[in-house]
Amino acid sequence: MNEQTSDRQNLLRRALRGNALFSILSGVVILVTNRTLAEFLGLPGDADLTAVGIGLLAYAGWLLWNARQKTIRVVEAWIAVILDILWVIGSYALVFAATLSSGGKWIVGMVAEMVLLFGVVQWLGLRRIGRSRHPV
């Protein structure tokens, strides 16, 4: 990999790392405050968010693994963008269709906006890499 290709991957690499850090923090918060968070969100009393927390930690590990590669795997970065978009769609489906508390709707919406931001920046990073492969 030459230096120019490496420079073109920097935005994507940073976006993947940022997404991973946010996913780690979110996963840990969910695991540590599981029942309290479920109650705050307005979920039923038997709601357990453990799977979401563990899933976010696994996702973060996968993002970090790809970000640490000498050459980022573009297909996997696209999968991350798609998964982020699906997270945003699912989050807004919850906000508009589920019976969440007012605070829960705000939290879910704000997290969705952060995830959307990471998805957009990852997409911009992928476009930058694509341009390096197809110079105009």
What are 82-97's pLDDT values in tens digits? 999 999 999 999 999 9
Alpha carbon distance 40, 44 (integer Å): 10
Kindly list the domain boundaries of the chain, sorted by start residue: 3-133
Residue in this structure with the two tokens 């790392």, named with its chain if needed: 17
Residues 15-39 have pLDDT tens digits of 999 999 999 999 999 999 999 999 9
What average pLDDT score do residues 101-106 get? Answer: 96
pTM value surpassing 0.85 = yes
What's the pLDDT tens digit per position in 116-130? Answer: 999 999 999 999 988
